[in-house]
Structure 1
Amino acid sequence: MRIVHVIEPFASGVAVFVKSLAESMPGDLHIVIHGERQQVMSANDVKQIFPKENVRFIRWKSAQRSIHPFKDLLALKELHYILNRLTKRGFVDAVHLHSSKSGLLGRLACRLAGIKNVIYTPNGAPFLSNDNPVLNLLLKQVERFGNKMGGKVVCCSASELAEYQKLGIAATYINNGVAIGNSKLSIVNRGVDRKFTVITTGRIETQKNPALFNSIASFLEDYDQIEFIWAGDGQARNLLNSKNITVTGWLGPKAVMDLVSSADIFISTSQFEGLSFSVLEALALKKPVLLSDCVGNRDIVRSGLNGDVFKNEIEGIGKILHYFNNQEMLDVMGQYSLNICEKDFNVDLNLKGYRTVYHIPEQKEEERYLAGVN
């Protein structure tokens, strides 16, 4: 099977998601049409994480993050050209669109190219990303319009699915997943003479709410035994100015996993998520998780067992102090995290489900057979 992936934000969680799909289906060819966010990570660096045997890349040169009618029209024209060329050469069995910009332009381009086997995974509902109700309303209408262009909407968490159903959009979901075995290998001892460490990972951007992370850390500045780590980087790095926060910058995957392994708890202050791979990796590494009560995050926590959700700064601070004063319970909570990950967020059980979603219609198989006979 030949699956074409269209990705505008070729970085972070979306890239990890597509990489996981390619690794889960090694017998299929994955063609990745991608943009680039140079300020986050170069496309060449992102490509290094992908398997080489079954993945090929095509640069989508005119794709860019911001909304710009003229540039978006150019991006649509270029994407239609690429898809049309691949279709004529027999390289398209299914097209999988990742994130909102790719989802809209991709469904338009597929409609123009006559491609009907189209899947769209939002990886975070865009209409949840802004405090501006007018902009959110506009983004909801964009999602409804894109849905009329065809394709299947496959969300990556149950709570994200619920948000799309509220819009009247028929959808389904398949949970994101991580490789349990590989994560277990990176579990390390925390050590005795060390500070109580609260960690998060990923891009420092508005969606991740670094201002809230900073506020929580600032309240605990006078606790010398507690430290905060943000393993990552981004344009909003200046918001992390509390003296007890360490920002590592971009690190390799192994270095990040080792930092998470040696921490006491993993925190997410995100405003919304699809289903964060960073949090799932923390589960696999047996970390208790403290997550903001938002779409995507609330699917991961079994309250009181593997962690908690919090609604505001005060609740977050209270939970951290509770964990700090009751550290003997962290190992038990961490084991629950691993158990939950194995049951609900195992890549071997989850992402392979996309092969069923990608199925080739029987009519197309018949057409191929007849073409071979003739």
Structure 2
Amino acid sequence: MRVVHVVECFAAGTAHFVNLLTRYTIGCEHVVIHGERLDEIKAELVKAKFPNDVTFIKWEGAQREIRPGHDLKALTTLLKILKGLEFDVVHLHSSKAGFLGRVACFMLGIKNVVYTPNGAAFSREDVSERKKKMYITLEKIAYKLSGQVVCCSLSEAQNYHKIGIDATYINNGTTLPQLSGVAGMDANEVKVEDVFTIVTCGRVTEQKNPVLFNQIAASFAHRSDVRFVWIGSGDEDQTCLLSSPNINITGWLPKEEVLATIQKADLYLSSALWEGLPFSVLEALSLGKCLLLSKCVGNVDLVRDGYNGFSYRTAAEAVEKIEWLLGNREILKEMAAHSRAWCEKDFDVEVVFKKYEELYQSLVLGE
């Protein structure tokens, strides 16, 4: 089968998701029609991480924000690209590509269409209620035109059900590293300093809620035995919000260093406002980390309170859980082991992404 992927936000988690699809749906040939976000990363750097047999086509004019004139040009360009290709299935990724892609497929009479939001726009907490209602209206219009909505988590699918859109889901997945083989961290290595390390990983943006992360860290600023690490960088105005002296912002690190840093940490913390099903948390799950996750779409699918960590709503709740874990290290270790076991069962990318290949086949066969 030949699958065409359409993605505007060719960066961060969405690009990683498409990359994994091209690697683990081995019965498919893949073409990626992509935009570019120069403020985040050049498309050439993203493409370099894909398998060599993937074909790429630049989608000129595609951009994140709603701008009717620009969007009409982007739609026209997408129509021309799709008309010139032969394929079996079109897979749309993210809200903007999901809307313009479904309009284009409707206009061209393309039936085999899949749409994966990977963080629905109407779930955003950094926009007004008026804008959320507009996003919901656009989702409903596009849903009536074409395509099957396949979310990346149960909670995201449930959000679609709440607005009257029928959606199913296939969990995001992650690779399962050999824990003793993570660069820089032997399984039997003992930490030199007795410092309880709490880590997160991701671009510093409003979505990841650095204000909340900083509030939690500031509550432990008086303690020399607790430190916080943020792997990544981002908007300068958002990064400035991570002002507590016990936060170390590492910037972006090579993949091996990211895994080693998370592996050495005692606890993985997410302060996100909304997610799809976050790959950064999935990696922490795969590395056997106890999790402390904000209660939001996506995060709630990856933590079971008291089993592999805790969820929380406020900084005070998070601080209370951290203090409890500091006094219950053996239970923390048990929770960490549960994370790895759960990941092996439900989030192994080699298993879950085969479901997309089965989905593509069912569309082609008309089942």
Tell me the TM-score normalised to structure 2 length: 0.94
For the residue of structure 1 that corresponds to 2:301, the secondary structure is: coil
Match of 1:43 in 2: 43
Could you tell me whether the CA contact under 8 Å between 2:28 and 2:357 is conserved in 1? no
The CA distance in 1 between the partners of 2:352 and 2:180, in whole Å, is: 18
In 1: Cα distance, 2:212 partner to 2:81 partner: 42
Contact 2:149 2:166 (8 Å CA) reproduced: yes
Tell me, yes or no, if the aligned pair for 2:118 and 2:277 is still in contact at 8 Å. yes
Q: Are the aligned partners of 2:89 and 2:364 in contact in 1 as well (CA < 8 Å)? A: no
What is residue 115 of structure 2 aligned with on the other side?
120
1:317-374 per-position Cα deviation (integer Å, ceiling 9, x unaligned)? 111121122223222111100011011111122111001211265679xxxxxxxxxx
Establish whether residue 136 from structure 1 lines up as the match of residue 132 from structure 2. yes
Partner of 1:26: 26
**Conserved 8 A contact 2:170-2:352:** yes
Given candidates 250, 253, 257, the residue that maps to 2:252 is 250
1:292/1:97 Cα in 2 relative to 1: closer, same or farther (>3 Å)?
Answer: same
Give the conservation status (yes or no) of the 8 Å contact 1:190–1:263. no
Pairwise CA distance, 1:7 = 0.9
Q: Percent identity?
A: 46
Distance 1:142 1:41, change over 3 A: same
2: CA distance, partners of 1:362 / 1:341: 31
Query: Which residue in 2 is equivalent to 1:180?
Result: 176
1:84 aligns with 2:83: yes
The aligned counterpart of 1:237 is 239
Counterpart of 2:277 in structure 1 is 275
- The structure 2 residue matched to 1:97, chosen from 92, 102, 111, is 92
Distance in 1 (alpha carbons) for counterparts of 2:314 and 2:60: 40
Equivalent residue letter for 2:176 = I
Q: Which runs of 5+ in 1 are unaligned?
A: 365-374
Map of 2:325 onto structure 1: 323
Matched, 1:339 2:341: yes
Partner residue, 1:367: none
8 A Cα contact 1:63 1:75, kept in partner:
yes
Does the CA-based 8 Å contact 2:262-2:268 persist in structure 1?
A: yes
Alignment partners' CA distance in 2, 1:363 and 1:164: 26
Q: Does 1:195 align with 2:195?
A: yes
Q: In structure 1, the residue corresponding to 2:299 is in which secondary structure?
A: coil
1:154 corresponds to 2:150: yes
Per the TM alignment, residue 27 of structure 1 is displaced from its structure 2 partner at its CA by 3.5
1:284 aligns with 2:280: no
Secondary structure, aligned partner of 2:172: coil
- Alpha-carbon separation, structure 1, partners of 2:355 and 2:180: 23
Letter in 2 for 1:342: E
Structure 1 equivalent of residue 58 of structure 2: 59
Taking the TM superposition and a 5 Å limit, the aligned residue runs for 1:305-316 are 305-316=307-318
Q: Is the 8 A contact 2:208 2:270 kept in 1?
A: yes
Query: In 2 relative to 1, CA 3–196 (structure 1 residues): closer, same or farther, beyond 3 Å?
Result: same
Q: Which moved more, 1:18-27 or 1:71-80?
A: 18-27
The separation in 2 between residues aligned to 1:190 and 1:173, in whole angstroms, is 40
Q: Give per-residue Cα distances to partners, 1:125-156, cap 9 Å, x unaligned.
A: 21111352111111111111111111000011
Deviation, structure 1 residue 26? 2.6
After TM superposition, the score normalised by the length of structure 1 is 0.92
Whether the 8 Å CA contact 1:183–1:281 is kept in 2: the answer is no
Amino acid at match of 2:33: I
Contact 1:123 1:274 (C-alpha < 8 Å) held by counterparts:
yes
How many pairs were matched up? Answer: 360
Per-residue CA deviations over 1:186-230 (Å, capped at 9, x if unaligned) read 264461424211111111111111111111111211111111111
199 and 260 in structure 1: CA distance in 2 versus 1, 3 angstrom threshold: same
Distance (whole Å) between structure 2 residues aligned to residue 362 and residue 326 of structure 1: 53
Per-residue CA deviation, residues 92-141 of structure 1 (Å, 9 max, x unaligned), is 11111111011001111111222111000010121111352111111111
Secondary structure in structure 1 of the residue aligned to 2:198: strand
Alpha carbon RMSD of aligned pairs, Å?
Answer: 1.7
